[in-house]
Amino acid sequence: MNKALRAVVLCGSIGVVVSACTKTDGPAPSADKVSADAAFQKKLQEQLLDAKPGSVIEIPAGTYHLTSGLTLRGDGVTIRGAGMEKTVLSFKGQVTGPEGLLVYGNSFTIENLTIEDSKGDGLKINDGDTITVRKVKVQWTGGPKVTNGAYGIYPVKTKNVLIEDSVAIGASDAGIYVGQSNGVIVRRSRAEGNVAGIEIENTVNADVYDNVATNNTGGILVFNMPNLSQPGHSTRVYKNKVDKNNLGNFAARGTAVASVPAGSGIVINSNSKVEIFDNDVTENQTANVIISSYHSTGYFTEKGVSANYDPYPKAIYVYGNRFKGGGDSPDGLDLKALKIAMYGLSGHLPDVLWDGYVDTKLMVKGVLPAEQRICVQNDAAVLNADGPNKYKNPSKDAAPFRCELAKLPPVSIVQLAAQS
């Protein structure tokens, strides 16, 4: 790093410390604490700027108040704290930089620390291959607010991604989000108090398992959105606990997740080749599982989409899950009216709710090809809401969904092979 450039970066980081210290809540920090945090920030950013392949940046136990976002550009770097509850990087007084930590690099590992209260995304990782996020918490400590950062743990346009034993709380879009990526495992993590707990978007080959998603607006989402670098497919969601995701939606207007109704357990939107199995999905007040098209988001006529975008869910396989409760208090007037019309005031929507949009161009005698159907087993009740006709002719007939699909193979990513 050029010394003059480094001096500009570091002086910018230091210069905002004193001016920001009076903006934090609670008692003003002592002069010694302000000075210590300024020195820590200078040293940490310098380590990030100077990091080489094989560098391990150790962050000791302590709570460090930072006033500017951090950036790492380089391959083969590890950032390691003393423990998720011991090393805390607080951006509550952040003045510059949209993210807490922004990373451009391959073979990157971050572990054993907390990032909290960043202005924007907590941890964003761009364009990397072989990414490990382990025992990392990203949170906003002031409760659910639209002003919270959009994403907690946020790899985008990445390959061979492992997120494990991590926590995301309070994101105004998605707590754990992986987008436009290939080869992803999210496991043994917890998402709570976010709009979307865990979201896999426009991603190919993802396994999401052994996670807990609770008290989000929507628990686990698998989405395909238009006008992005690639369409997604082949995601397995299994062995998760998806419970009581009934938090009111606090996303910014116009975002994709703003259309997610509170009380959504697992939501599949416009994606294909998705398996949902061996999950405990309980007490999600709109529905435990929602399968929908981009047409249901309300944005299809408002935003232009590319001609090759496929808005329909296809090859969705739901089997071997354990459902309990839910569907008793759906979000939104249309769904409330649908519930009452179909099941009465004291009834509830079934465990699997399908909006009813289907790609009629592919249908033969009114039926999709076998490999593209929506299949639901275990005698789970299904409701076709008839969204295309504004819920005029919903159907409880589950027979069209009693089918099987070929099962997807487990996701294999490079770093797991290297560790075995």
pLDDT (tens digit, 9 = 90+) per residue, 355-392?
Answer: 999 999 998 888 899 999 999 998 899 999 999 998 99
Q: In this predicted structure, what is the pLDDT of residue 60?
A: 97
Pairing of strands 382-384, 352-354: parallel
Q: In this predicted structure, what is the pLDDT of residue 61?
A: 97
Q: In this predicted structure, what is the pLDDT of residue 18?
A: 27
Q: In this predicted structure, what is the pLDDT of residue 16?
A: 30
Q: In this predicted structure, what is the pLDDT of residue 33?
A: 80
**Are 34 and 17 within 8 A, CB to CB?**
yes
Structure tokens at 275: 């398996």
Q: In this predicted structure, what is the pLDDT of residue 417?
A: 60
Angle at 330 between CA 328 and CA 334, to 5 degrees: 130
pLDDT digits (tens, 9 = 90+) for 84-111: 999 999 999 999 999 999 999 999 999 9
Q: In this predicted structure, what is the pLDDT of residue 188?
A: 98
Provide the strand spans (E) within 193-309.
Answer: 196-201, 204-209, 212-214, 218-223, 233-238, 241-243, 264-269, 272-277, 280-282, 287-292
Q: Which residues of the chain are under the pLDDT cut of 70? A: 1-28, 299-303, 416-420
Q: In this predicted structure, what is the pLDDT of residue 419?
A: 58
CA 231 remoteness from chain centre? 17
Mean pLDDT, rounded, of the chain: 91
The burial of 402, by beta-carbon neighbours within 10 Å (0-12 exposed, 13-18 middle, 19 or more buried), is given as exposed
- Enter the pTM of the model: 0.91
Q: In this predicted structure, what is the pLDDT of residue 27?
A: 66
Domain ranges of the chain: 140-411
Among candidate residues 236, 245, 145, the one with its CA nearest the CA of residue 190: 245
